[in-house]
Chain A
């Protein structure tokens, strides 16, 4: 084949016979990739007089941006909140396995833990791109320890903390560092939280509200200070009350600044949230096209493992079918659903379109983290992290930076 008179000699791949998710719609279009990024074929044609070197026949499949999981505590026997001798190896194992679920980027999540765990893990887990070895790490999600006692859920009580030293000092003391931290979940009703929320938001770290008994005004104030996410909506927070909707009221609050969006995380595993509640949340938002739902797995160590007892943080949990409980109780301790299962369930339970379901797992996480320039979309110039799916939203192949990293 004659060489392209092109700007770059790098090979160009053209995905044909596919439907791509672009501009919030599935469109019959080819997808072009060069040097790990989505390429503008029109520019290639007219500016460079170039064409594809290689065609991939997608046989009618859907191409969506790779899924981004912002809350995943481990899986396949790995627990991110445990200081093992091989933290990096553990993260890498999970990163590799989740490619099968269409996840191309994630935030390893740590539940409430003692300072030494944070110090150890955060020193080992760095932001890095994905590839054939596994999904990319966008940073860590620190869920706790600055959370409410009453809503600790499966988190170990003895390691909960407050902002007694004024705020940021407590954070640095507990975590050791904020490098490689992408998100912090905290309870905004804790005294001195305002300064922490502001400071974290200013540093570009996503602040999420969760495991909290905050009332609506406290939640709204936190949003005004920079909070932009609700960790697993409905779970570990006060239930909706008509005179004080609490954090749930953020869905329809009129105190959220115009230029800001508050996303809510949803564990759409069919267990953590009743379908009717899921639909209330989904329908609360006035903008049909965009929506604020963000799918997370909140997957725990046992995800991918057979039924039985396993460790999460400093506690023991028990798998019974699709449920994971704190051993000896009926408190849910996390989910074992995979991301693609969540996307399928969310679509079926909410009645939303396939585009909305896919965006809840890709575009919205990217918007939340402020990385839409390169993740969560198939726009020209974005990283070519892709998931190929059939109409039933089963993952058939996963690509990172234009390279196939998993195929069914």
Chain B
């Protein structure tokens, strides 16, 4: 893996956004060959989305030939609800960029046959040629998407019942009323993300530090599902200093020492204006 450590949240967001930008532009997407991107929601990627929007508004990046697949969505939450992941993606990303709505895929948590929806989503990814870059976050309990502790490391897109921890953590978005928080979600599986050609995990904040430690310094374990990516050929963890607080000094020093190598991935930063 690559472990890219930036000083703070803003710098980590910017690094990640530049990386995504360079990957898309290097790929030279076109009508015959789309760049497929897997996307997360939550507070962690928020800064990254803002930066990507900035790049687009400056004319340096276009999403015209990008297809996106979101990781998850709540079950039974009306799509127009401000806390649905559809709303999150629209307000924080899609409405500010030039993506074609036909190229956006988000699981539908209000459909009657949830299993069929999950199968169809997997098929859609396959039909799109697989995911070029899957961006994700990590929960305090080490989960990726809604693959809660105990999820199979070869799981596929399916319905999951949320862990109590997750529901409590989400309550703040539902007026702190536990009864209003959705209890189920549709999520891509660990296996689904592992199929991506490249994976980038964003981890910021001290509250994620223990999960990062478990994910990269301990073994592959279905209790900390992000650990599965130790077995992926191309994974980047982008984090801030606070997220490294539980790692061994040796690990941090090693990867910080590699920053000049890592930075070549984002410097020079490419632009469609030069094409």
Q: Interface residues, chain A, CB within 8 Å of chain B?
A: 5, 30, 41-46, 48-51
Contacts and interface: CB of A to CB of B under 8 A. Distances in A.
B176 to A, nearest CB: 22
Contact of A41 (B79, B86, B95): B95
Given A5-B102, A51-B101, A46 B95 contact: no
Contacts of B79: 46
A42 B86 CA distance: 9
Contacts of A41: 90, 95
Contact of A42 (B80, B100, B102): B80
Interface string B96-108: 0000111010100
A30 B95 contact: yes
Interface residues of B, number: 13
Nearest to A5: B102
A50 B90 CA distance: 13
B80 A45 contact: no
A214 B102 CA distance: 64
Given A42-B87, A45-B101, A46-B86, 6 more contacts: A41-B90, A42-B90, A42-B95, A43-B80, A45-B95, A46-B90
Contacts of B80: 42-43
User: 5 closest Cβ contacts across the A-B interface?
Assistant: A49-B101, A49-B102, A45-B101, A42-B90, A46-B86
B55 interface: no
25 contacts: A5-B102, A30-B95, A41-B90, A41-B95, A42-B86, A42-B90, A42-B95, A44-B101, A45-B90, A45-B94, A45-B101, A45-B104, A46-B79, A46-B90, A46-B101, A46-B104, A46-B106, A48-B101, A49-B100, A49-B101, A49-B102, A49-B104, A50-B101, A51-B100, A51-B101
Contacts of A48: 101
Nearest to B101: A49
Interface in B182-198: none
Nearest to B102: A49
A27 to B, nearest CB: 12
A30 B91 CA distance: 11
Nearest to A2: B100
A324 to B, nearest CB: 49
Contacts of B101: 44-46, 48-51
Nearest to A51: B101
Contacts of B100: 49, 51
Contacts of A49: 100-102, 104
A3 B104 CA distance: 17
Nearest to A42: B90
Nearest to B79: A46
Contacts of B86: 42, 46
Contacts of A45: 90, 94-95, 101, 104
Nearest to B91: A42
A50 B101 CA distance: 7
A327 to B, nearest CB: 58
